[in-house]
Amino acid sequence: MEATYHQPAMVEEVTRLLQPRPGDTIVDCNLGTGGHSLALLEACGGRGFLVGLDLDDAVLLLARQRFRSREIPSRSYALVQANHSDLAQVLGSLGLTGADRIVMDLGASSLHYDDPARGFSLQAEGPLDMRYDRTQGPTAAEIVNTWGERELSRLFRQEGDERWAARIVRRIVARRSERPFETTADLAREVGAAIPRKAWSPRIHPATRVFLALRVEVNDEVRSLEEALAAALEALKPKGRLAVLTFQSNEDRRTKRILREACRDRIDEADPWGRVKEPAKFRDLTKKPLGPSPEEIEKNPRARSARLRGVERLD
């Protein structure tokens, strides 16, 4: 069954950056099917405790099956259905006061894209859903069929960097007045038709940016990322390390801003000499983000856009 599991990006680089040690409390904020978690547990000789969070109950089930198949003792991990922004509450419920190593692997996994029924894929017909947790929140279809022109245009421009947002939205609104959008293929066709053919990218489907923006909105990814990063930084013990993997430019910019701010001294703005009011609590482990190796990209093309950043909490 190993082939059914998601292949996470940059496992070796994440492990080297975090440097797990025996006895560590490790948190995987976006567990998936446990690829990073298993590597981190192995790196500390199996003598650590792992907390795995994921919103998707189907993915959590696969992770549990995988841990059992690897004969990982159940006392050495806790897998919880939760948003990564709920990190503090999850740790508290387990009686933990902090973490030594935290990894965040953002965005959807290959399992989401490869299952048409989840509604993430541009390549196959499926319901226009895109929710990680299918019991919560609006679907992509609800947003496409009910939001106003101005709201949709803002979403596609801001979260998808879509330069043709206005044209796309006009076509969406005209089409939905005749019949609502229900499937991924239906929306992808209309978006493609709204963009001039000469403007199509040779590398990605013309609807890629619109689908990205919808996924981010459906799963409230902007708010949850900012809250998760704040919670992770707060949860780190002295000498603890955080690694964050991003896959699209907006989430990488937000991650970069928050981590850099955490690594800066606080200056006393009332002091005319600009003396330090509070020294930085973290140090930057990656002055520039790390990327996947050419060998990894060849084996796993979906890893090509991965960017890895990390910080360490100071004493």
| Residues contacting residue 14 through CB under 8 Å, at least 6 positions apart | 36, 39, 40, 103, 243, 245, 308
DSSP secondary structure letter of residue 71: T
**DSSP code string of 17-28:** HH---TT-EEEE
Domains in the chain (CATH in brackets) are 2-111+221-313 (3.40.50.150), 134-218 (1.10.150.170)
Q: What is the pLDDT of residues 227-258, one digit of tens each?
A: 999 999 999 999 999 999 999 999 999 999 99
Confidence of residue 3 (pLDDT cuts 50, 70, 90): very low
User: Residue 277 belongs to what H/E stretch?
Assistant: strand 276-278
Mean pLDDT, residues 186-205: 93
The percent of residues above 90 in pLDDT, for the chain, comes to: 83
From residue 259, how far is each of 103, 208, 255, 276 by CA, in Å? 14, 28, 6, 19
> What is the pLDDT of the chain when averaged over all its residues?
93
Answer whether residue 2 shows pLDDT above 60: no
pLDDT at 251: 95
Q: Residue 299: its pLDDT value, please?
A: 92
Which range is least confidently modeled, 2-11, 32-41, 148-157, 275-284? Answer: 2-11
Could you read off the pLDDT of 98-152 as tens digits, one per residue? 999 999 999 888 888 888 999 998 888 999 999 999 888 899 999 999 999 999 9
Percent of the chain's residues with pLDDT above 70? 99
Q: Tell me what pLDDT residue 252 has.
A: 96
